[in-house]
Amino acid sequence: MSKRPVNLPADSSPLIESFVADVARTSSYMRWLRRGGLIFLGAAGSLALAVGAASFPLSGLLIRPKLKRLSQLNSPHLKRLIRQRGFSLEEVIVRSFDGTRLHGWWMPASAAAATVVVLHGVKKNRTDVARAMLLLRMAGFNVLVFDGRAHGHSEGRFVTYGAHEVRDLESAIDWLSKEKSIDRNKVGIAGESMGAAIALQFVALHPWIQCVWADSPFASLERVTSEFVSKKTHLPTTVLHPVLWTTIQVANRRGKFDVRTVDPLAVAERIKCPVYLVHGTADQLIDTAHSLNIYDALGGEKEMWLVEGARHARCARHAKEQYAERLVSFFNAKLKS
C-alpha cells in the first residue's frame, strides 16, 4: 500500500526549520540532563562509598583502639617492686554482669579502711594508674585497679566508654563487698580520661559513692568523637557530618550500644557526692571545655584544677608533687572524716 503524500504549504520551509531546531535543542537538553544525572549519581555514589569506606575504620578506632602499655603489664618488674616495698598485691579476676572476666590487682590495707577503685583511660591498662594506686595505698586505703573490658588482660571485644563499663564497675564493687568485705559506705572512685567519664556516669546512678576524682574526662562521647573525627580526617563540614553519622551508626551496631547515651555532662546535675575535676590546659585530645562544662553542671560539692601546660592525661606527671598531695588530701578529707 502506497503512503498518501502530505501536502505542505508553499511557505512551509521556515516552519520545518523551526521544528527541527526545537527538536535539536530538546535532544541536546535531554543529553545534558542525562549526563548531569549520571554525574550526580556518580558523585553521590562515590561520596557514599567514601563515607562507608571511612566509617568502618573510624568506628574501629573508637571501639577497638590499638592497645598500649601491654609490655609493662606483662613485665613482672612493677609487681616485684610493689611487693619489695612491703605491700600486698593480689591478682584478682572479677566476673562482670555479662560474664566478661576483668583482670586486676587488689591492694588491701585493712578491713576497716576505706576503699578507692582506680580506673584507667582508653588504650591503657592498670599499670597506667599504678602511681595513683601506690599513693592511695601508702595513704592507708584499700585499692582496686583492673583492666577495663577489651583492655589489658581483660576479656571483651569492644570499648563502650561507660555503656557497659558502668555495669563492670558495679560488678567490681559488688565483688569487693562479697569477697573482701569492704565497707560500701566508704568507697571512692578515681578515674583518668575514659575512666573519669565512667566514674562520673557511675556515681550519677549510685549516690552512695562518697567521692570522685575525675582527671581529663569527656563531656559526651558523641561530642568528643566529632572532634576526634574532624581532627583525624580534616574533612569539610559537608562531608564530615555524614562520615560522623555513619561512623557512630557502625560503632553502635558493632559495640551493641548507643554512643549518644554515653554522656557524663547530661547526668552531671544528678551527681551529689564531692567531685574533684582535673584537666590540662594543653590537652590535645579532650578540650578543657569538657571539664569546665561538667563542672558548671554538677549539682553538689565540686572543685576544679586546671593544670597549666599539661597535655592529655598527663597532669600527674606534669605537676607530680602537687598532684600527689591533692589526690591524697581529697580522699583523706572525703573518706576518713
Q: What is the pLDDT of residue 26?
A: 42
128 and 173 housed in the same domain: yes
Please check whether residue 225 is in contact with residue 247, taking contact to mean a CB–CB distance below 8 angstroms. Answer: yes
The Cα 28–Cα 163 span in angstroms is 58
The Cα 173–Cα 186 span in angstroms is 11
156 and 278 housed in the same domain: yes
38 and 155 housed in the same domain: no
Instruction: Decide if 105 is inside a domain.
Output: yes
Q: What is the pLDDT of residue 241?
A: 86
Instruction: Decide if 331 is inside a domain.
Output: yes
Instruction: Decide if 143 is inside a domain.
Output: yes
* Residues forming beta bridges with residue 275, ordered by sequence position: 212, 302
**Cell (9 digits) for 70:** 601491654
181 and 292 housed in the same domain: yes
**Cell (9 digits) for 37:** 544525572
Instruction: Decide if 13 is inside a domain.
Output: no
Which pTM value belongs to this model? 0.84
Cα–Cα distances (Å) from 302 to 104, 121, 274, in that order, read 29, 22, 5
Instruction: Decide if 7 is inside a domain.
Output: no
Q: What is the pLDDT of residue 294?
A: 98
191 and 306 housed in the same domain: yes
Phi, psi of 252, deg, nearest 5: -60, -45
Instruction: Decide if 9 is inside a domain.
Output: no
Number of compact structural domains in the chain: 2
Q: What is the pLDDT of residue 58?
A: 84
Phi, psi of 77, deg, nearest 5: -60, -50
191 and 226 housed in the same domain: no
The Cα 112–Cα 186 span in angstroms is 9
Instruction: Please say which residue of 256, 277, 311 terminates a domain.
Output: 256
The Cα 255–Cα 186 span in angstroms is 33
In terms of Cα–Cα distance, which of 92, 125, 126, 95 is closest to 108?
Answer: 92
99 and 239 housed in the same domain: no
**CB proximity list for 221: less than 8 A, separation 6 or greater:** 161, 162, 197, 259, 260, 262, 263
Provide the 8-state DSSP code for 66. P
- The sign of the dihedral angle between the CA atoms of 154, 267, 317, 68 is positive
The residue with cell 575525675 is 214
The Cα 107–Cα 11 span in angstroms is 108
The Cα 327–Cα 89 span in angstroms is 21
In the predicted model, residues of the chain with pLDDT beneath 50 are: 1-30, 32-50
Domain that holds residue 322: 70-220+262-335
Instruction: Decide if 11 is inside a domain.
Output: no
The residue with cell 549518644 is 260
Please check whether residue 308 is in contact with residue 278, taking contact to mean a CB–CB distance below 8 angstroms. Answer: no
CATH number, residue 83: 3.40.50.1820
243 and 271 housed in the same domain: no
179 and 323 housed in the same domain: yes
Instruction: Decide if 278 is inside a domain.
Output: yes
104 and 125 housed in the same domain: yes
36 and 132 housed in the same domain: no
The Cα 295–Cα 268 span in angstroms is 8
**How many C-beta atoms lie closer than 10 Å to residue 93's C-beta?**
13
146 and 246 housed in the same domain: no
